Structure 1
C-alpha cells in the first residue's frame, strides 16, 4: 500500500464509513408519511446522490419500531429479469411459506418459486385468459404480503424495472385499501419515455397518498461534516472542504470516493490540528466518480483487483461462494483479498440478507470496474460465471444468456437466450424478449442457422431506439460474407436481410435481396411463402397491381412442415397484402384471423393483424369493420401486455375518428402521439401528425396545417394522403403549380398502377389540380383510371371519391346542373359511411352550384342546413365561413362552385385573384385585404404573386396599372373611400373576370380527404 498521511503517533489514518449527513428533512418526511395510511413514496435523484443510503437508514429505524419491510432491487437492463425485484424481495423475506397458511392462490406462485414447490398449495387450474392469469398471480403476491404482515415494499432502481414489475406496482396502488406502502427509488433521466413508471408517478388513482422526495447535493458545511466523519470525527479545513465541494458538486458518493482516492495517494496531511490536503495548488481530483474509482482500483494488488472484476462481471448482489468461483482464486487467497476489498470500502456485505450477498456499493462503481477489465480476462470470468450459475436452482436463464453471450460460448448463449426469451414472452414482457434476442444477434458471430432462427423471432416493434435494424442487417451480411454456406442456407440468410430491410423502410433494397434469394429457397416452405407475401405488398416504386398479385396467385401450396406460429403469421400477412391490393378476397382471408389466442407470441401476430386489417378497412370505407378490428387489437394488446402496440392502435383509431367525425378530444389525443418522440414509433407519430394537420386545416389555420402535414410522411400511404391534403391547401391559396408539383410525384404510384385503395384522398386532389390548371383531358384520364381500377367493388370510400371526382370534372366543364347532382350523390355516399365532414362539404358545393344555376331558394336552404351541420360537428371555421357568405353584402349570397376542384383559368385571373387585385387597386394593404376576405395575409401574398406572374409584371404598382388598363378591374371613385372590412360582392361585380355561371367564395380549408 502507498504510504499515506500519518497521525501524530505515526499510524496511518483509518477511513471510516461516512456518517449520514444532510438528510434529516428527508428522513423526517419519510417517517411522517409512512406513519399514515399506506402511501407511495417516490425518491428521485441522480446517481450517487444518496437514495439508497436514505432508504437504508429509514428501513433501519422502521425495523426498530417493528414495521416489517421487504426490499428488492431492479437489475440493469443488460440482465433482464421479469418480476425479478418483487420475487427477490419476497424470497429474501420468507424463511418458510408452509406456515403462512396460503389459500389456493398461492399455487400460482409455483413457476416463480420452484424451490418452494413442496410448501405451496397445488397449482391452480390453468386460465385461458392471460389477463386473468396475471391478475391471479398478483393477488397471490398480495396474499403473501398480507400473511407476512408487511407494512412496506421498497424497490430500488425502478428505472430498470421490467414491465411486469411496474404493472404489479400499478396493481397494488389501484387496490382499495392499498395493501402496503411503497417506496421506490429511481433516476428520472434514465426512465424510458414509454415506461409505466411515468404513469405511476403522474397518474395515480384518486385518493392515493403520494410523497415525492428529491435529495439535494450537500452544501459546504455538510461536506465538512461528511468528510470529518470519514476521518474519525476530526477537524477538516474549510479550504479542503470547499475544494472537494467544488470538484464533486456536493454529490455524496463523489465526495466519498474523492476522499478515499486522496487517502490512497497520500494526499491528506495533518495541519493546524486537523486534516487538510497536501499540494492544494497542484494535485487534481478526477471530476467523475468513474475516474476516481478506476484510479483507486489500479492502486490495488492483482488478486484484489480480480475479486473486484468478478463482482463487476456478476453485476448484482452475489453470495460469497459464487463470487469466489468466478475469481478462480484459491480459498485462502480469495479470503484475504476479499477482506481487503471490503476494508477499502469498494465492496459491501449486506448482513441484513440471510444469504450474505456481496455487491458494489454503487452501480456506477460496478460499471467503472467492469469497463476496466481486460477483454480476455472478462471473457474467462463470464464463462466461469455461466458454468457456476448453471448449477443454481432455479436456473437464472437471463443471467446465463448474458454470461455465455459475453463469454463467446455461442451454443450455450443461444440456448439460454431462447429460454429466457420464452419466459419473458410467457409473462407478456415482449420488449425484454426482443432485447435479449437483439443483443445476442448484434454482438456474437453466430452460425447461419442459429442466426436466422433468432432474427425471425425478434419483435422489432418492441425495441426502443431510432435504429434497431442496422446491427441485425450487419450480422446477416457478415454471415453471407464470412461463412461457407449451401445455396439454401445462403438464400435463407439473404431472405432475412431483405425482410429486415423492408421492415426498416428500405423497400426497394429489401425487394432486391428477396428476389435474389427466391430461386434457392425451398419450394413449399414457410420462408418461400412469406417471401412471396412480402413481394406482393405494393410498397416502394410503382408497379402494376397485377405484378404484385402474381406473387400471391402463383404461390405453390405449403409442402413442408410449418410451425403453428409461422402458419398464423402467413395467414395474417396474406390477408393484409390482398386488402392493400384492393382484392375483396382479402376479407375472406381476414375472417381466418382468430379473435382470441393464448400464446403471447401468437397474440402479438394477431394484434398486428387486426390493426393492419383495421387500417385497410378505413381505406376501403368499411368503418364499422375498422372499429371492430382496432378494438380487438387493443383488447389483445392490453390482455397480453403488448404495450408497444398500443400507440400504433391509437394512431389508427385517431385517423378513423377523424373520418367518422368523432372529434371530441381528438386533437389532444393526436398531439400526444406526435409530441412523444421517444416512446412512439415514427410511423405512428406521422399518422397522428396527419390527423393534427387535418384538424388544423378544418380550424382554418392553414399554415400550421401545412407544417404538420409536411412531417406526416412515414410510409407510402401517409405520404400520399399528406400530399393530397397539402395540394388542396395550395389550391385554396391559388398556388396551382405547387399543387400540381405535389401530385405529379405520386400520380404514377397511386393511379398509374391501378392501386385504387390509395386513391380515396389523392384522386380528388389530383383531379382538382389538373382542372385548376386547365388540363381537363388529363383530369378526365385520372377519373377514368380510377373507375377502371375500382370496378364494382364493395369499397364505399373509393366509390364516393369517384363520384366526387366526376362532380369536380362537371364543375370545371361548366355543367353546373350535373355538378350539383353529382356533389349531392357524393354527399349521400359519404354520409352513409358515415363521413360527416366530407358529406357536408360536398353538400355545400352542391348548394353553390344550385345558386350559380339560379336556383337561389334551394341553394340558400341547403347552405343553411350545411352551416348548421358543420357547427354541430365542431367545424366552426367552415360554419362561420358559410354564415358570413350568407350575410355578406346586405344579404347577398356569395355563391361558389369551386371547392375541392377548381375550374381551369390558364393565364387568366381566377375569381379569387380578381377579388384580391380589385382590393389592391382600391389601396388596401395585404393585411386589410386578408381581413376583408377572411383569409391569411400569406394567402393574399400568394394570390398577388400569382396574378403578377400571369400578367407578366414585377411590382404591385405595375399590377394595378395593368389590370385597370386592360379593363379587368375598374379604378375606384377617388371620392368614395373603400371599406376595409366589408367583404366584396363578386356576384354583383361585372368587372371581375368570372366565367359564365361561376361566382366566388372566400377561401376555405380542405376537407378530410383533400
Structure 2
C-alpha cells in the first residue's frame, strides 16, 4: 500500500490498514439471524455512525446468500421506485426466464431494457392510485420470483414517497402472503419470504414521512428488529484507531483526544486518524502511537473539515478523480470517471494528449483515492465516495465554473454510455447551463415518470424545464400543455406543486406573443387544471375564452364545449348551457377517439338531465348497456362508461327515478371495481347513500354518511357527506349537530364554487330555522339559492329548496311572494316530467292552500303531495306531508281521522328512525289525549371504530393485492358483500385506497400475530 513504512523500528509516519469493525458483533449476529427467519430490520443512526459498514459486514458474513442491495441517493431520481429499479438492473443484465403473470407487463415503463422479455403491457388505468397499486403488485411478484433472502435498502430517509409506499406494501404483503394460497390470486414468492432491512438517519426523517409508519410500531406477521447503531466509547474509539495503524495501539492520551473531537462517530475517527497521519502528527513512542503536541495541528471537529484538509495532500490526478466522482454523485465506471476528469484543468498536458497515458494517470489517481479511504469500489466495477457526506464536502468546495465544466462532461459521458436515467442527465445539463439538452432530457424524464404513474415527478421536471432561460415560445407552449395535463392527473390535495403549476401557466398565458391558437390550447388545459383543483368559476372563464379558437383541435374543442355545457358553475342561464351542449353534439364524431366520443355522450346526457331536459334520457341510451368483458373496449372507454353510469344515476336521483338510479349506480360500481377505478368508487358510494336516504333505507346509514363526511375524503365526498350527516341529525332532533354539519357543507360550496351543491344544505338549514321559529334566518338561508335557481331557470334544482322557501315566506306573512314563487315553479316544471319535482311542487301548492284556503282543501292538497312522494318512493317526505294533512284535518273538525293518521305517522317515523320528527308528532298526539310511546329499535350490536372479524378477513387478503373477486372466492362470499365490508373497513382505518390499506395493515397491526420467538432479539 502506498506510504507503508518498512525497515525501521520507529517509523515517523505510519502506514494504514483497513479499519476494523469495532463494537458491532451483536448487531451483525442479529442481522444474520434474519436469513433463517424473515424479519423487518430497522438500522438507525446518525451520519457516519457506521450503518453502511455494518450492513456490508453482514453481507460479507452471509456468504453466497441472495441479497438485493438498494441505495436511496441524496438527489432522488424522479423515476418511480428508482432505488429498487437500479438495484435490480445492476443485479441482472437481463430479466431471467421466470413464470411471471400477465401483471408483470406493468413493469415495462420501469425496465425498458427488459421490455421484450416481459409480458405485454396491461391497459392503462385512469386512476393514479390504482396504477401504482398494480405496479407494486407486479414488482413484488418479480422480487418474489427472484427468491432474495433479504432486500437491503440504505439511506431510506432520502427515499421518495413511492419507494416508501412500496416498502410498506412489501412489509404487509410478506406477512400475509400465505393467506392467498388456493384463492386464485397472484402467487406468493417461491420459498421463504425475504427479510426487509432498511437503514436511515432518524434526525433526517421529515415529521410527515411514511417511514415513521414503518418504524413506529412492530409489524404483525413479521418479526421486527430495531438496531440503533451507537457511537463508540473511548475504548472503542481506541480499538478502531489502533486497527488502522501498524504495530502497537494508540496511547490513552490520543484515544481521549480522538474521542473528544469525534464524539465516537466512526467515520470522523477514521478521517481524523488519516488527517493526523497526513500531517505527520503521529509518532510511535514507548510501544504506542502518540500525537505530537503541536497546537496548530489539532484535528477539526467535523467530517467536512477533515476531508477537505486531506485533499491537498493527494496527487493532482487523485484530486481530479475526487472532483469527478463528487459531480457524478452516483457510482460510476472507471471509463466514465476518466471522461469527466479529463474536463478538469490538467497539470500535465502531455498526459492528456496521450489517451493511454491519461487513462493510466486516472487509474492511479482512482487507486490512490480508494487506498486513502475516500472512495470505495462497488461490486459491479464502479466507484463512489465511501460516504455521501464526503462527496458533498468535495462538491461544495469546487468553484462554480469548475462544477459547470464537470457537469457538462458528466452529462455527455453518461449520455454516450446510454445507461443513465434521463433525470440524471437533465440534472447534469441543467448545472452545466446547457438549456437545450437540459430541456430534452427533462421532457424524457417527465415522459418516463408519467408512464409509470408518478405525476408528481413529471410536474416537477416540467416546471424545472420551463424555468430554463431563453426558452422559445414554441417550447414554452408545448411544455405548458404537458404541464397542465400532468398536473391535472395528480390526485393529491392542492399543494405547493399545484400552486407552482398554476402560477407558471398564468405567467405563460400573460405572454402577448402567443398566437390565438397557442393561447387557446394552453388556456383550455389550464382551465381543466383549475377545475381539477376545484376552482370551477375561474376554470369556466378560462375555457370560455379558449373555446372559440379550438376549431383546429376537435378533441380539445369537444372537451371545452362539454365543460361549458355543464350547468353547475357560473350564473349563466340554462339557455346558455343548452346551447353549448347542442354545439358539442355537432362535433364530427369521426374525428374523435372512441373514449372521447363516450365522454361527449356522458356529459351531454348528464348536462341535459341536470337542466331538466327529458331529451337527456335519449342521449343516455346511447351508452352501451355494459362493457364488462366487451371485446375491443379499452380501459379509458370503460372508465367513461362507468363515469356515465354514475353521472346519469345521479341525475336519475335528481329526477326522482330512484329504481333506475339504483340500477345505474350498481352498474357503475361493478365496472369501477372490475377496473380498479379507485377514484370513482367513493363517489358512487355517496350517491348510493343519497339514494338510501331518499328511499328510506336508513338502516346502517349512519356509517355511510360518516364515511362520506370524513374530512380526509376527496372534496365532493366531504361536501355531500356533510349534507347527509346534517339531514340525519336533523331527523334525529340533534339540531346543534345538524347545524354544524350543514354549515360545513355550505362553507365547502363557497370554496369550490359549485352552485347546485349548496341548494340542499341551504334548504335543510331553512327547515331547521323554521322548526326553531327563526323565520328571518330561514328566509336568509333560502333567498340567494332560490334566486340562483330562478336566474338560471333550472327549476328541477328546486325540489328540496322550494317547499322550505314557500313555508318561510308564508311564515313571514309574505303571501304574494309565495304565490309568485309557486307560479314560477309551476311554469318552470311544465316541460320537465321529473317525479321528484312534481312532488315538491304539490307540497308547495299544499302549503299555499293551508295559508289561504279552507282546512279540508289544504288536507286534500297535502294528501296529493303525500301520494306523489310515496310513488317515488320517498317515505320521509311522504310522512311529513301526512303529518301536515292530519294537522289540516284537525283544523277542519275531522279529529278522529286526524288522530288515526297521526298515530300511523308517529309509528312510521319511529320505524324509519326519524326520532326528532316522531317526538314532535307524539307531542301533538299527547296534547289530544292519545298515548304515544315507542320503543326505539336498538338494532344489532356494532363494533364501533373497530373492524369486525369479517372485515378483518377481507382486509388481510386485500392487503396482499387480492381483488374483490379473489377475496370473495377465498371467503365464500359474494363480491358485493366483500365490497361493502371493504368500504366499511377503509372508513374505519381512515384510508381511501388499497395501497394505503396495505400500508395500514402494518401500521395498525392487523395482520396475523407472529409466532413467539424462542429468544428476545435486540
Q: TM-score, length-normalised on structure 1? A: 0.68
> Structure 1 240/167 Cα, relative in aligned 2: closer, same or farther at 3 Å?
closer
Instruction: Provide structure 2 residue ranges, at least 5 long, that are not aligned to the other structure.
Output: 1-9, 182-187, 244-249, 345-357, 934-1018
Shift of 1:56: 2.3
Decide whether aligned partners of structure 1 residues 334 and 539 sit closer, same or farther in structure 2, where only a CA change above 3 A counts: farther
2:79 — aligned with what?
81
Equivalent residue, structure 1, for 2:808: 769
Counterpart Cα distance in 2 of 1:572 and 1:839: 33
How many angstroms apart in 1 are the aligned matches of 2:431 and 2:460?
15
- 3-state SS of the aligned residue for 1:583? coil
Structure 1: distance between partners of 2:759 and 2:124: 40
From the superposition, tell whether residues 198 and 851 of structure 1 become closer, same or farther in structure 2 (CA, over 3 Å): farther
Q: CA deviation at 1:378?
A: 6.6
Per-residue CA deviation, residues 979-1003 of structure 1 (Å, 9 max, x unaligned), is xxxxxxxxxxxxxxxxxxxxxxxxx
Q: Is 2:209 the counterpart of 1:183? A: no
Is the counterpart of residue 747 in structure 1 residue 786 in structure 2?
yes
Q: Taking structure 1 as reference, are residues 590 and 143 closer, same or farther at Cα in structure 2, changes over 3 Å only?
A: same
Structure 1 residue 183: deviation in Å? 1.4
Task: Tell me, yes or no, if structure 1 residue 460 matches structure 2 residue 488.
Answer: yes
Mapping for residues 419-818 of structure 1, pairs under 5 Å:
440=465, 447-455=475-483, 457-458=485-486, 460-467=488-495, 468-482=497-511, 484-522=513-551, 525-554=554-583, 557-558=587-588, 561-562=591-592, 566-567=596-597, 569-592=599-622, 595=627, 611-623=646-658, 626-627=661-662, 643=678, 646-661=681-696, 667-668=702-703, 670-671=705-706, 674-675=709-710, 677=712, 680-712=713-745, 713-714=748-749, 715=752, 716=754, 717-813=756-852, 816-818=855-857
Map 1:123-134 onto structure 2 (within 5 A).
none
Distance 2:276 2:839 in 1: 82
Structure 1 residues without counterparts, runs of 5 or longer: 1-7, 287-291, 895-1010
**Aligned pairs (5 A) from 1:177-216:** 179=189, 180-183=193-196, 185=198, 209-213=221-225
Given that residues 320 and 358 in structure 1 are in contact (C-alpha distance below 8 angstroms), is that contact kept between their aligned partners in structure 2? Answer: no
Give distance in 1, aligned partners of 2:199 and 2:701: 33
**Cα pair distance change 1:495/1:828, threshold 3 Å:** same
Larger RCO (CA within 8 A; separation ≥ 6):
2
Distance 1:480 1:130, change over 3 A: closer
* Distance in 1 (alpha carbons) for counterparts of 2:728 and 2:238: 64
Counterpart Cα distance in 2 of 1:685 and 1:833: 27
- Asked if 1 retains the 8 angstrom alpha-carbon contact of 2:205 and 2:211, the reply is no
Residues of 1 paired with 2:833 and 2:679: CA distance? 33
SS in 1 for 2:62: helix
Separation in structure 1 between the aligned mates of residue 914 and residue 507 of structure 2, nearest angstrom: 56
- Number of equivalenced pairs: 858
Could you tell me how far apart the structure 1 residues matched to 2:667 and 2:457 are?
Answer: 24
Distance 1:759 1:694 in 2: 17
Distance 1:368 1:758 in 2: 66
Q: Does 1:151 align with 2:149?
A: yes
Whether the 8 Å contact between 2:376 and 2:386 is mirrored in structure 1 is: yes
Deviations 1:641-680 (A, max 9, x none): 6555555555555544544555566545554565554xx4
The alignment yields a C-alpha RMSD, in angstroms, of 5.6
Specify the SS of the correspondent of 1:209: coil
Kept in 2: contact 1:42–1:201 (CA 8 A): no
Q: In structure 2, how many angstroms separate the alpha carbons of the residues matched to 1:599 and 1:196?
A: 37
Asked if structure 2 preserves the Cα contact closer than 8 Å seen for 1:576 and 1:613, the reply is: yes
Q: Is the 8 A contact 1:15 1:232 kept in 2?
A: no
State the TM-score, normalizing by the size of structure 2. Answer: 0.68
Give the deviation of 1:740 after TM superposition: 1.9
- Secondary structure of the equivalent of 1:358? strand
Among residues 68, 71, 83, which one is paired with 1:70 in the alignment?
68
Q: Are the counterparts in 2 of residues 159 and 197 from structure 1 also a CA contact under 8 Å?
A: no
1:593-641 Cα deviation digits (max 9, x unpaired): 5646865666666665555444444433444555555556556666666
1:30-81 C-alpha deviation (Å, 9 max, x unpaired): 6666644x56x263969859896498268527724x6533344567895333
Alignment correspondent of 2:973: none
Q: State how far apart, in whole Å, the 2-side matches of 1:850 and 1:722 are.
A: 31
Q: Is the CA contact 1:661–1:837 (under 8 Å) kept in the aligned structure 2?
A: yes
CA distance in 2, matches of 1:174, 1:863: 57
Cα separation, partners in 2 of 1:490 and 1:95, compared to 1, 3 Å: closer
- SS at 1:774's partner residue? coil
What secondary structure does 2:514 align onto? coil
Residue 384 of structure 2 aligns to a residue whose secondary structure is strand
Q: How does 1:2-151 map to 2 (within 5 A)?
A: 19=21, 24=26, 35-36=36-37, 41=40, 43=42, 53=52, 56=55, 59-60=58-59, 63-64=62-63, 67-73=65-71, 79-82=77-80, 84-94=82-92, 102=99, 111=108, 115=113, 148-151=146-149
d(CA) in 2 for partners of 1:839, 1:451: 57
Residues 731 and 917, structure 2, Cα contact 8 Å, conserved in 1: yes
Q: Contact between 2:856 and 2:892, CA under 8 Å: does it hold in 1?
A: yes
Distance 1:805 1:861, change over 3 A: same
| 1:275-424 aligned within 5 A | 317-322=331-336, 325=339, 328-329=343-344, 331=359, 335=363, 348-351=376-379, 354=380, 356=382, 358=384, 361=387, 384-391=409-416, 396-397=421-422, 399=424
Q: Distance in 2 between matches of 1:138 and 1:278?
A: 59
